[in-house]
Amino acid sequence: MSTTVTVTEPAKEAKREGLLPYDINLPYIRLSEETVTATKYPDYLPSWDKIWFDPLPPFHFDDPALRVKDKSKPNLLPPQAKVTHIQPGLGTIVEGVQLSQLSDIGKDELALLISERKVVAFPNQDLIDLGPSVQQDFMKYFGKPNYQPVSGSVRGYPGFHIIHRNGNKNEINRFLEKKSTTTLWHQDVSYEIQPPGYVMLGLLEGPEVGGDTVFADTAAAYKRLSPTFQSLVDGINATHSSRNMITHTRLAGGLVRKDPVDNVHPLVRVHPVTNEKCLFINGEFITELHGLKEGETRVLLDFLLQHIITGHDFQARVKWQPKTIVMFDNRSTLHSAIVDYIDEEKGATPRHIFRLCAMAERPVSVHDAAKVKNS
Eight-state DSSP code of residue 83: E
Considering the segment(s) 2-374 as one domain, its CATH architecture is 4-Layer Sandwich (3.60)
> What is the Cα Rg of the chain in Å?
20
Helix (H, G, I), strand (E, B) or coil at 146: coil
If phi > 0 it is left, if psi is from -120 to 50 it is alpha, else beta; for residue 151 that is: beta
Q: Rounded CA gap, 1 and 47, in Å? A: 18
Find, among 337, 250, 239, the residue nearest to 297 by Cα: 239
* Residue spans per domain, the chain: 2-374
- Least Cα distance to 166 among 125, 214, 128, 211 occurs for 211
What's this model's pTM, rounded to 2 decimal places? 0.91
| pLDDT value of position 15 | 46
Let me know: does 238 contact 288? Beta carbons within 8 Å: yes
Confidence (pLDDT) at 373: 80
Say how far apart CA 11 and CA 216 lie, in whole Å: 32
Q: Could you tell me which of 356, 366, 360, 353 has the C-alpha nearest to residue 44?
A: 353
Give the pLDDT confidence score for residue 3 in this predicted structure.
Answer: 37
DSSP 220-252: HHHHTS-HHHHHHHHT-EEEEE-HHHHHHHHHT
pLDDT value of residue 254: 80
Please give the Cα distance from 211 to 230 (Å, whole number): 34
Task: List the beta bridge partners of residue 269.
Answer: 278, 365
Provide, for the chain, the percentages of residues in helix, strand and coil under a 3-state DSSP scheme, each rounded to the nearest 5.
Answer: 30, 25, 45
Tens of pLDDT, residue by residue over 61-77, are 999 999 999 999 999 99
Can you give the pLDDT at residue 112?
98
Strands (E), the chain: 2-3, 51-52, 82-85, 92-95, 119-122, 144-145, 161-168, 196-205, 213-217, 237-241, 262-266, 268-270, 277-279, 286-289, 315-318, 325-329, 333-337, 342-343, 347-359
**Helix (H) or strand (E) segment spanning residue 106:** helix 104-117
Please list, in sequence order, all residues whose beta carbon lies within 8 angstroms of the beta carbon of residue 194, skipping any fewer than 6 positions away: 56, 58, 59, 61, 144, 359, 360, 361, 362
Q: Report the sign of the C-alpha dihedral through residues 181, 182, 183, 184, in that order.
A: positive
Task: Name the DSSP class of 15.
Answer: S
C-beta neighbour count of 247 within 10 angstroms: 13
pLDDT, position 253: 77
Q: For position 2, what pLDDT does the model report?
A: 39
Rounded to the nearest integer, the mean pLDDT of the chain is 88
Query: For the segment 235-259, what is each residue's pLDDT rounded down to a tens digit?
Result: 999 999 999 989 888 887 788 899 9
SS3 (DSSP) at 170: helix
The pLDDT value recorded for residue 367 is: 96
- Measured CA to CA in angstroms, residue 330 lies from 185, 199, 221, 347 at distances of 12, 7, 15, 30
CB distance 214 to 207 below 8 Å: no
Per-residue pLDDT of the chain (375 residues; tens, 9 = 90+): 433 333 344 444 444 445 555 554 454 445 555 455 567 898 998 888 889 999 999 999 999 999 999 999 999 999 999 999 999 999 999 999 999 999 999 999 999 999 999 999 999 999 999 999 999 999 999 999 999 898 889 999 999 999 887 656 666 667 777 777 767 899 999 999 999 999 999 999 988 888 899 999 999 999 999 999 999 999 999 999 999 989 888 887 788 899 999 999 999 999 999 999 999 998 889 999 999 999 999 999 999 999 999 999 999 999 999 899 999 999 999 999 888 877 766 656 778 999 999 999 999 999 999 988 876
pLDDT at 26: 52
pLDDT for res 16: 46
**Cα gap 240→287, rounded to integer Å:** 6
